[in-house]
Structure 1
Amino acid sequence: MADALPDGLEDKLVSALQPIRGFVLAQSLYQFLETGAHEVLASAGTLTVARLARSCDLDEDRLRGFLQYLSNEDFVELTAEDEVTLSAKGAEIAVFRPWYTLLVGGYTGAMVDLGRALADRGVYASRDAAQVGVGSCGISRFDALPMAERLLERIPGGVRTVVDLGCGDGRYLVELCERIPGLRGVGVELGEQSVANARKLVRERDLTDRIDIRMGTATELPDLGDLPEPLCFITAFVLQEILEQAGREAIVDLLTRGFQRHPDASWIVVEVDHRPADEKVMLHGLGLGYYNPYYLIHHITRQQLETRQFWEDLFAEAGLHVTGPETPDAAYDSLGLKLAYLLRAAPGTPEQAART
């Protein structure tokens, strides 16, 4: 005789399957955006499945099954006449594409490697650096870019050249130069695909006369030749990588060398406050939805998050004058975990004396 099934088993199964549902949905929405199907539908309004398949060079039968899945999740409307339209929820998802690009496109490999990374301290989980760069720069439009703009406005006399160390796909630097008339830009990036993406974007935006994208590491300060000063270095979510890969001393050395070479420069740093054990953060919807996976990913990849106090102590150790931090607009992110600082050579330092 078969054992009696426990009461409420189906309800418990439904609850247990929600993480799997979320996993499949996240991957599916990422591909919906990446294949171009979402963009084509957003532009056309309503199309037959056959027409959408031809427009995106996709297999019609498999696309139909994919769209039926998305229809069941209320991201598209699929009719009996085989016509498909974005739902209101489906149309809105495009705004949040950078988060899917970063976390799904950039770090799916890290989740595959999670077990190995947990077992062996010498193993780092993998990531798609190009997608990380695209996603990070896209998200920066909502936080790092406006924070940097506010800090740039606080620099006496303004800035004529911005040097973005670890510029990713260049979108952050391009948009900064577009917003500030006459601003020159130099972007430095190690990833070959990211450099190609950045140069392509610069050409598309007709900014080749103002922005120079170079291949190199963030710790190698570029030769700026006769580019106009004063200048401002920017490291957005980059010092966390240097910290894991080369240590605290390497960051202090980088900042020190930058101000020794350019005593009148400014430096904007954007980092993330590391507070995974803070209940006020982790009980918040954005804390669980974004920062909790973000914190996990950074524990297993070549990046090291630190606290606000850590960064402020490090800047003090480097002998710098600190303005900030700026935090994102609370209407977008009320947790205030992304921090932007403006650094200058402190009064009385050799760098400051070199100005006079």
Structure 2
Amino acid sequence: MAEITPGLEKRLIGALQPIRGFVLAQALHQFMDTGIHDALTKHGALPVDRLAQLCGLSADRLGGFLLYLANEDFVVIAVDGTVGLTSAGAEIGVFQPWYALLVGGYTPAFAGLREALADPAAYASRNAAQVGVGSCGISEYDALPIAERLFQQIPGRVGTVVDLGCGDGRYLAELCDRNPGLRGVGVELAEQSVTNARRLMQQRGLAERVAVVAGRADDPPDLADRPGPLCFITAFVLQEILEQRDRAAILELLCKVFARHPDASWIVIEVDHRPADPDVMGHDLGLAYYNPYYLIHRITEQRLETRRFWEDLFAEAGLSVVGPEVPDPVYDSLGLKLGYLLRAAGAPAIRADL
């Protein structure tokens, strides 16, 4: 028989907090992904029946879900039965991309952790479409501003930007929106992400300027008919080629592209791999985001590497390098996301008019 000792309830409550967090993370992701959060943001407080109708959900089950969220202080249920957002509920919507990535995208990976730990040849799975949505959303805070700063340092005028591994296309759409006349090509392997990206280009009025094609990031399509010079972008993509193939494959890709397009530029965004650094893991953001992020990349078909690794690789490829650019420290003070502008050796990398 289990021993019941003084203080057991308090210890139990403490031990259950990770489970509470696990359930809450799943619930908040669905709160946003099902459209419930958007409906309450757009319409204000609503009766449960009306909210269920707007979101295509069962009113009875939605009622139970909302009671759960009310107990966690993300919604408030009025005496008349209408449901509205609390301040915490309104605020969480800002951070939907992180939930799409880590919960929507990588829940299958965490569920497959045991198998991945036991078999070094096995990879944990992921929801590629959700990873694309989350990654592109997060990129609006870090990778996109980094890429824009590097893009402005390219000498002359870029004719076409080629996003290898474009996800849902949001990143590519933003670049083309902010640079009138710029054309784009998005290359993406995940079928649902290709569909999402094409739909986004239609919605943003960019379908005539931006083409989205199905394909592998490490095998760029024929771009002979695209106006140049070209600017390639790989945001968190070389890490996938590194694990799925090897370092030599990245070198081959870089050398092949620059041999074919000597006047091209290439913007690379990657993440410095520092999971054993106490300065990183002693930081709240390090534990909240980078600790699970680093774990994911040990069990899925991706491999993170250090800043030194990437800079040595670019040097071996004989490329001119500008960077690294890092995120705004107001948003992320750890400086782990690294942006580089690559050009063929000897090519000017800084615009004279800046």
- Bigger mean CA offset, 79-88 vs 140-149: 79-88
Does the residue aligned with 1:6 lie in a helix, a strand or coil? coil
- C-alpha separation between the residues in 1 aligned to 2:218 and 2:294? 24
Please tell me whether the aligned partners of residues 320 and 346 of structure 1 are also in contact (alpha carbons under 8 angstroms). yes
Residues 1:3 and 1:319: Cα distance change in structure 2 (over 3 Å): closer
Is 2:144 the counterpart of 1:139? no
Map of 1:174 onto structure 2: 173
Counterpart residue identity of residue 264, structure 1:
D
Map of 2:331 onto structure 1: 332
- C-alpha separation between the residues in 1 aligned to 2:313 and 2:80? 63
Map of 2:34 onto structure 1: 35
Question: How many residue pairs align between the two structures?
Answer: 347
Counterpart residue identity of residue 307, structure 1:
T
Per the TM alignment, residue 163 of structure 1 is displaced from its structure 2 partner at its CA by: 0.5
Map of 1:183 onto structure 2: 182
Structure 2: where are the runs of 5+ without partners? 348-354
**Cα deviation code 1:275-325 (max 9, x no counterpart):** 000111111111111100000001000000000000001101111111000
Structure 1: where are the runs of 5+ without partners? 349-356
Is 2:48 the counterpart of 1:49? yes
The 5-angstrom pairing of residues 103-142 of structure 1 reads 103-142=102-141
Please tell me whether the aligned partners of residues 152 and 158 of structure 1 are also in contact (alpha carbons under 8 angstroms). no
Does the residue aligned with 1:157 lie in a helix, a strand or coil? coil
The 5-angstrom pairing of residues 306-325 of structure 1 reads 306-325=305-324
- C-alpha separation between the residues in 1 aligned to 2:203 and 2:295? 36
Per the TM alignment, residue 14 of structure 1 is displaced from its structure 2 partner at its CA by: 1.0
Map of 1:265 onto structure 2: 264
Q: TM-score, normalised by structure 1?
A: 0.96
- C-alpha separation between the residues in 1 aligned to 2:2 and 2:238? 58
Per the TM alignment, residue 159 of structure 1 is displaced from its structure 2 partner at its CA by: 1.5
Map of 2:58 onto structure 1: 59
The 5-angstrom pairing of residues 151-300 of structure 1 reads 151-300=150-299
- C-alpha separation between the residues in 2 aligned to 1:190 and 1:196? 11
Q: TM-score, normalised by structure 2?
A: 0.96
Map of 2:90 onto structure 1: 91
Does the residue aligned with 1:131 lie in a helix, a strand or coil? helix
- C-alpha separation between the residues in 1 aligned to 2:172 and 2:280? 30
Counterpart residue identity of residue 339, structure 1:
L
- After TM superposition, where is structure 1 displaced by more than 4 Å over at least 4 residues in a row? none
Per the TM alignment, residue 3 of structure 1 is displaced from its structure 2 partner at its CA by: 7.3
- C-alpha separation between the residues in 2 aligned to 1:158 and 1:17? 57
**Cα deviation code 1:305-347 (max 9, x no counterpart):** 0000000011011111110000000010000000000001112
Please tell me whether the aligned partners of residues 144 and 236 of structure 1 are also in contact (alpha carbons under 8 angstroms). yes
Per the TM alignment, residue 6 of structure 1 is displaced from its structure 2 partner at its CA by: 2.4
Does the residue aligned with 2:274 lie in a helix, a strand or coil? coil
- C-alpha separation between the residues in 2 aligned to 1:275 and 1:7? 41
- C-alpha separation between the residues in 1 aligned to 2:207 and 2:263? 26
Does the residue aligned with 1:299 lie in a helix, a strand or coil? helix
Per the TM alignment, residue 162 of structure 1 is displaced from its structure 2 partner at its CA by: 0.4
Does the residue aligned with 1:181 lie in a helix, a strand or coil? coil
- C-alpha separation between the residues in 1 aligned to 2:157 and 2:139? 22
- Tell me how large the CA RMSD over aligned residues is: 1.2
Please tell me whether the aligned partners of residues 53 and 60 of structure 1 are also in contact (alpha carbons under 8 angstroms). yes
